[in-house]
């Protein structure tokens, strides 16, 4: 079938028509196909001195060369894309995990108390201090203050605390188990042959 040199078509047969070749990355001699080399050059490989290569479209789709609005730049002859992708932590969206914990536990706390005697037997300021003698009055002669000291052993009842003591924290996992696997990244497709015209009408430049 007649075509323009360098033209690529899809062909449903399992052979390449006369004067056409499969787009399979074959190496051609420049001397034998000067017209085809003049059209495609070494965009698809070759040393440019004695050889050049045809495009390799085996297992690939075609994307238009250039840069569309809001899209990436694709230079002619550039191969892009992969069949599968492995997701890593940098690609995960923001999410949350449930945390299981037991709101129980115990802790030891050293509570300091003043060693000074109180000015009255029943102080109302909630200050922990040494007991006062009954004979002392509010206006008794003050004594030099002493440094706080640790209370003796005993039981101190605490009516409330500012927050629970969390023990045995476990974070629930999310997703599957086992190693990270590659997930399918291909669109549905049908395999056909791409063929390129290697001898035919030489294209005139526009």
| Residue ranges of domains in the chain | 7-87+189-197
> What per-residue confidence (pLDDT) applies to 200?
96
* Residue 169, pLDDT score: 74
pLDDT at res. 187: 86
- Residue-level length of the chain: 206
**Tens digit of pLDDT at every position of the chain (206 positions):** 899 999 999 999 999 999 999 999 999 999 999 999 999 999 999 999 999 999 999 999 999 999 999 999 999 999 998 888 887 777 777 777 777 776 666 666 666 666 666 555 555 555 555 555 555 555 555 555 556 656 556 666 666 566 666 666 777 666 666 667 788 888 899 999 999 999 999 999 88
Nearest by Cα to 61 from 192, 154, 152, 162: 192
Q: 84 is written with which tokens? A: 């599968």
**Cα 130 from Cα 119, distance rounded (Å):** 10
| H-helix or E-strand spanning residue 39 | helix 34-40
For residue 178, give both structure tokens.
């086992």
CA atoms within a 13 Å half-sphere pointing along the CA-CB vector of 84? 6
């Amino acid at each position: 079938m007649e075509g323009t040199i360098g033209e690529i078509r899809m062909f449903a047969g399992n052979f390449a028509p006369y004067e056409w070749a499969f787009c399979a990355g074959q190496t051609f001699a420049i001397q034998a196909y000067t017209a085809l080399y003049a059209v495609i050059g070494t965009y698809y490989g070759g040393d440019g001195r004695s050889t050049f290569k045809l495009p390799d479209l085996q297992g690939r789709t075609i994307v238009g060369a250039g840069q569309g609005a809001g899209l990436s730049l694709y230079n002619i002859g550039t191969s892009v894309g992969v069949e599968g992708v492995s997701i890593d932590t940098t690609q995960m969206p923001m999410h949350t995990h449930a945390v299981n914990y037991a709101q129980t536990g115990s802790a030891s706390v050293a509570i300091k108390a003043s060693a000074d005697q109180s000015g009255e037997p029943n102080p109302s300021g909630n200050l922990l201090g040494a007991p006062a003698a009954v004979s002392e009055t509010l206006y008794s002669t003050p004594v030099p203050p002493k440094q706080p000291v640790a209370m003796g052993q005993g039981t101190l009842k605490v009516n409330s605390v500012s927050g629970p003591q969390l023990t045995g924290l476990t974070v629930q996992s999310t997703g599957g188990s086992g190693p990270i696997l590659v997930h399918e990244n291909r669109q549905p497709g049908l395999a056909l042959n791409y063929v390129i015209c290697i001898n035919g009408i030489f294209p005139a430049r526009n």
